[in-house]
Amino acid sequence: MRKTVCYCMSFVLCLTSYSLVAKSTLRVVTEEWPPYNYTNDNGKVVGTATAKVRWILDQAGIDYTLESYPWARAIDLAANNKNVAIFSVYRTQVREHTFKWVCPLISPVPTFMYKLKDRTDLNVTSFEDAKRYQVSVTRGDLAQDVLTKAGFELGVNLDLAANGQVSIKKLFAKRIDFVIYSEIALLEQLKKINRSYDSIQKVMELTVMENLPICLAFHKDAEDSLVNDVQEMLDLLDVVSQPSYF
């Protein structure tokens, strides 16, 4: 145990090399996806994934800012600006060469299609069934790609919202029929709008998303030394406890 701690401390000191040569502050962006990353009542970006990101960047000696945007805006910034990183982002084949990856930031998150429990008129067991209705997802989210590949069309049976909370509000207003959401994040969003989970019903799981790693991603032209240092620090989280961050 003593050797492990000594190694960790030595490694942290070595990582200051990046901060000494860095010429600009890393801009880190995310979205509102509680409990993983979200803005609290004091305007600070927090959450379980955020805590990990703050810890690994702090220990690597990297200066950074942290901002929350609608997902489409956040991922566009990260894809088109060398000094921008993004989390929590699914690592997919389509995105593979757009970013350099630090994984896994959080464990795979089961994702489901939901409806209002009192919508007994909605009986679907497949995407084909769901195409008869309106399904709302976050603009630019992986769920949009999944549904588009399955044949859903914007303005026909696919609705795009700025964020998940907008989709959920549309669901309760009965402006759309289904939403796509991870269960734990849905619970958090329902709390924010004073709605009960008992009013929601799972329809089916999006199994295509269940094993995809969720990561911190850097621009494809980011320095390899930076990405490697951050990955090393993420790997160290299993042996270094930092309760003040979590």
Nearest alpha-carbon partner for 185 in 41, 48, 45, 43: 48
Mean pLDDT of 169-186: 96
**Has domain 111-209 been given CATH number 3.40.50.1820?**
no
What b-and-e string marks burial along 83-115, b requiring 16 or more CB atoms within 10 Å of the CB?
A: bbbbbbbbbeeebeeebbbbeebbeebebbbbb
Mean pLDDT of 209-237: 96
Q: How confident is the model at residue 246 (pLDDT cuts 50, 70, 90)?
A: low
- List residues bridging with 67 in a β-sheet: 29
Average pLDDT, the chain: 90
Q: How confident is the model at residue 210 (pLDDT cuts 50, 70, 90)?
A: confident
Nearest alpha-carbon partner for 210 in 125, 90, 124: 90
State yes or no: pLDDT of 91 exceeds 70.
yes
Token pair belonging to 11: 């490694």
Token pair belonging to 167: 């989709």
2-107+212-236 has which CATH code? 3.40.190.10
State yes or no: pLDDT of 102 exceeds 80.
yes
Mean pLDDT of 78-92: 98
Q: What pTM was computed for the model? A: 0.86
Q: Say if 2-107+212-236 and 111-209 have the same CATH topology.
A: yes
Q: Which residue has the higher pLDDT, 12 or 175?
A: 175
Sheet holding 64-68, edge to edge: 64-68, 26-30, 84-90, 214-219, 99-106
Residue 54 near residue 242, CB atoms below 8 Å: no
Is the C-alpha dihedral spanning 216, 159, 41, 191 positive or negative? negative
Mean pLDDT of 186-197: 94
Domain boundaries, the chain: 2-107+212-236, 111-209
Q: How confident is the model at residue 122 (pLDDT cuts 50, 70, 90)?
A: very high
Dist CA 164 CA 8 (whole Å): 38
Q: What is the pLDDT of residue 13?
A: 46
State yes or no: pLDDT of 108 exceeds 80.
yes
Q: What is the pLDDT of residue 205?
A: 95
Strands (E) in 73-223, as ranges, are 84-90, 99-106, 111-116, 135-138, 158-161, 178-182, 200-205, 214-219
Q: What is the pLDDT of residue 243?
A: 55
The pLDDT > 70 percentage for the chain reads 87
